[in-house]
Amino acid sequence: MAPPSELSTSGAGFFPRQVGIDAYGNGGFRFADMSHRGSLLCLPSGMKGWDVASPAELTLESLQPVLDIADTIDVLLIGLGMDIAAIDPAIRDAFRERRVIIEAVGTGGAVRTYNVLLAEERAVAGAFIAVENAR
């Protein structure tokens, strides 16, 4: 069996549709017979690498790709890695103005919730910080 293909870790890679995540951990994610090392944005238009490695790097600028499509989603799930951290109120306000609910939890919980909402055909996006160890 051939090894899974990979998205670029530079954020330049792109998978052209939104799909469920099969696994996370070991510094990345598996989905659609692909593996991706690093953090991941899951948007209605597709999946792509995301250059955020910790909650401290979570900014309006890093979430701009999600803000750009905010009119197409109802919920943004943010996977904060292994720990829970406070989200900058400016981020919450920017999404609230666009009527998008933000749920920020550990990456494992965010991925599981994302998969459920996606299976229910809900308008969901995910911004997931990669973790080494899955819980």
pLDDT of 30-85, one tens digit each? 999 999 999 999 999 999 999 999 999 999 999 999 999 999 999 999 999 998 88
User: What do you get for the CA distance between the two ends of the chain, in Å?
Assistant: 28
Contacts of 43 (CB under 8 A, 6+ apart): 18, 65, 66, 69, 73, 125
So where are the chain's domains?
38-135
Q: Could you tell me the fold of the domain covering 38-135?
A: Hypothetical Protein Mth938; Chain: A, (3.40.1230)
Q: What pLDDT is recorded for position 98? A: 97
Q: What pLDDT is recorded for position 13? A: 66
Q: Is the pLDDT score of 7 beyond 70?
A: no
- Bridge partners, residue 39, by sequence: 50
- The reported pTM is 0.89
Phi, psi of 118 (to 5 degrees): -65, -40
Q: Is the pLDDT score of 11 beyond 70?
A: no
Q: What pLDDT is recorded for position 84? A: 85
C-alpha distances (whole Å) from 123 to each of 9, 44, 110, 130 are: 26, 8, 15, 22
